[in-house]
Amino acid sequence: MRPVLIHPRGFDLEAARRALARRDPRLAAAMRRIGPLDVGTRWSEPFDTVDVLARAILYQQLSGKAAATIVGRVERAIGAERLHVDTLARIDDERLRACGVSAAKARALRDLCARAEGGEVPDARRLARMDSEAIVEQLSAVRGIGRWTVEMLLIFRLGRPDVLPLDDLGIRRGTQWLDGLDAAPGRRELAERGEAWAPWRSLAALYLWRIADGG
């Protein structure tokens, strides 16, 4: 029997930065200008997969302030700060709607809870035993959860080192600025460009977001 590979949470940011600098002079210049990124602190924090995904659903297509207001209402309605199967069961769809949750998002939350009860939503320990693509495939089966949402979990919660969200507008714009392009690259072009950053594409993505924000 082959041993199960346990994926560590996080990676050596400095080693990744040095490797990227050797491979991509343009990115190297941008990284020197921006400086080191402090992104590893959340990698050691415990998390509940259901809670992370439930919040992702509630935040979709809303400003951060509006979404935080709705999440706060839901937390007060369920009497807990943890969004999980047991706590979300305390509130029906009508009360969710009263909190500002759309009907589509309410259905997504119920689907998430049903899948969690059926063992289809891995906890952090199980996620550590899965490769990144397997995680994307399993979690994106949840209503309202797409590849991008799972990729954010891979980068910011699990600290997987080689994730490049190809559909992210910020990353596309950051690449456009980095390479001096007339237009943002498409998915295929970005994938090809990102081959130079493997196996540290997560750190490249983090810098591209900063570049897109004017960093």
Separation of alpha carbons 40 and 177, rounded Å: 26
| pLDDT computed for residue 107 by the predictor | 97
Contact assessment for residue 21 and residue 146, using Cβ atoms and an 8 Å cutoff:
no
Contact assessment for residue 62 and residue 37, using Cβ atoms and an 8 Å cutoff:
no
- The DSSP letter of residue 42 is G
Domains, the chain, ordered by start? 13-40+162-213 (1.10.1670.40), 49-157 (1.10.340.30)
pTM for this model (two decimals): 0.91
Nearest to 206 by CA among 141, 160, 149: 160
| Residue 13 CA from chain centroid, whole number | 18
pLDDT average, residue stretch 105-129: 96
For the record, the structure tokens of 117 come out as 């009860």
Residue 162 dihedral angles phi and psi, to the nearest 5°: -125, 60
Q: Which of 12, 92, 123, 168 is catalytic?
A: 168
Over residues 31-64, the pLDDT tens digits come to 999 999 988 778 989 999 999 999 999 999 888 8
Look-up of token digits 């939503």: 121
86 is a catalytic site residue: no
